[in-house]
Structure formats: structure tokens, C-alpha cells
Chains A and B, each alone.
Chain A
Amino acid sequence: NAGVTQTPKFRVLKTGQSMTLLCAQDMNHEYMYWYRQDPGMGLRLIHYSVGEGTTAKGEVPDGYNVSRLKKQNFLLGLESAAPSQTSVYFCASSLTGVDTQYFGPGTRLTVL
């Protein structure tokens, strides 16, 4: 039981490049979330999903897209990366909206 895993762990992009971050969970959770963590800003929700095939915007969705084609996977895409998207990205999942969220180890993204 791996819990929540994230791929890749580190990535460096140039401005304008695109990439996809993959989150996978093996706990059969319905809800999945993408957060970004920046110094002094805490954790901010980018997008979330309440079930397979659904997505919803969080607090800071601009510049990101997501997809939840399979229940166990939640993808975060950056179509045209900007330096402001340099951050640590965390994925989380929970059984329902009121249950404990379980977090992945994070992806450190640098956009030059």
C-alpha cells in the first residue's frame, strides 16, 4: 500500500514549456486535491476532484489544468510555465470530503 505517490519529485522548466504532474493513490479515495506551497503563503488549493471524471477550481487555478480520467490518478498540467509557478506541489486524497486528507511527498518545480 503506497498511499499517495507523485511523479516527478523534481523538475526544472524554462518559461513557456509545458509539463504534467502525476498523482496516484491506491486507497480507493473519491476525492483528490492539488495544492501549491510557497514560503509565507501556506498551502493553497489549485484544483480538486470529488470523483472520477469531475474537477473543480480551488483558490489559485489560473495557469493550471487538471484531469481525473481514472479514479486513482489526478493529473496537473501547466500549459505554458511561468516563473510565478515555481513552487512545491502537493497532491492529496481523501475518502470523502469530510475525511482526513493523505498527502504525497511533493514535487519541487522550478521555472527559469
Chain B
Amino acid sequence: AQSVAQPEDQVNVAEGNPLTVKCTYSVSGNPYLFWYVQYPNRGLQFLLKYITGDNLVKGSYGFEAEFNKSQTSFHLKKPSALVSDSALYFCAVRPLHSGNTPLVFGKGTRLSVIA
């Protein structure tokens, strides 16, 4: 069965500094990976996804994520954090070729960007 670990419940970063939100996964075969963001009192919004190809994936709002197969990681990054990036971030995974197997989400990491 697939699983996702987001080892940090909370990440604090100063505005203008680079940010990283960590995600590691376990899946049979090749993974299909997602990052979603949740702002207060809102539903989840898609940020980016990795299927195959370039290990560096660029997404919405200046975010990017790096797929590392050997470390089974898919860390979310941004070169310069904004206060408006403060939100709850979820990593999700499913096997790439697995029929109807649904996504499994991590527990989420709360990002706080301090002015």
C-alpha cells in the first residue's frame, strides 16, 4: 500500500528566504505525486504534479518540487517566501499504473512566513 510522510508539522520561514516543505513517499512501482495547498477555511487547491520526465516540476505561485527517486522524496520549494504563502500544504501519492487506486494524502505541513 502507498503512503506519504510529511515529517514536519510546522515550518517557519522569514519573508524573502527560501522555503522547503518535505515529503517522502512509499509506493509500488513508479509514483504519481501531487502537492496541494489549503488556505484558511478553504478547500484544497492544486499546486503541481509529477508524472514522468524532468525531475524538477514547476507549479503555481512560483512553487516547484524536486522528484528524487533514490531518496523517494518530493520536496516542495520556493526561492523567496511571501507572507501570503502561509497555509497548510499537502503531499499526495498514488502508483502511476494502478487502475482506480485513489490518492493517499500526507498529514499536512503548516507553513508560516513571518514578515
Q: Do chains A and B stick together as partners?
A: yes
Known A42-B106, A48-B102, A50-B100; contact A104-B43, beta-carbon cutoff 8 A: yes
Contact B42 A105 (CB under 8 A): yes
Is the C-beta of A100 less than 8 angstroms from some C-beta in chain B? yes
Main secondary structure of the interface of A (DSSP, over half): strand
Is the C-beta of B22 less than 8 angstroms from some C-beta in chain A? no
Besides the known contacts A35-B105, A106-B42, 18 further A-B residue pairs in the complex with CB atoms under 8 A apart: A40-B9, A41-B107, A42-B90, A42-B107, A42-B108, A43-B44, A44-B105, A45-B104, A56-B100, A58-B102, A97-B94, A97-B101, A98-B32, A98-B96, A100-B46, A101-B44, A104-B43, A106-B41
Contacts of B90 in A (CB 8 A): 42-43
Contact B34 A100 (CB under 8 A): yes
Contacts of B106 in A (CB 8 A): 42
Contact B105 A42 (CB under 8 A): yes
Contact B44 A90 (CB under 8 A): yes
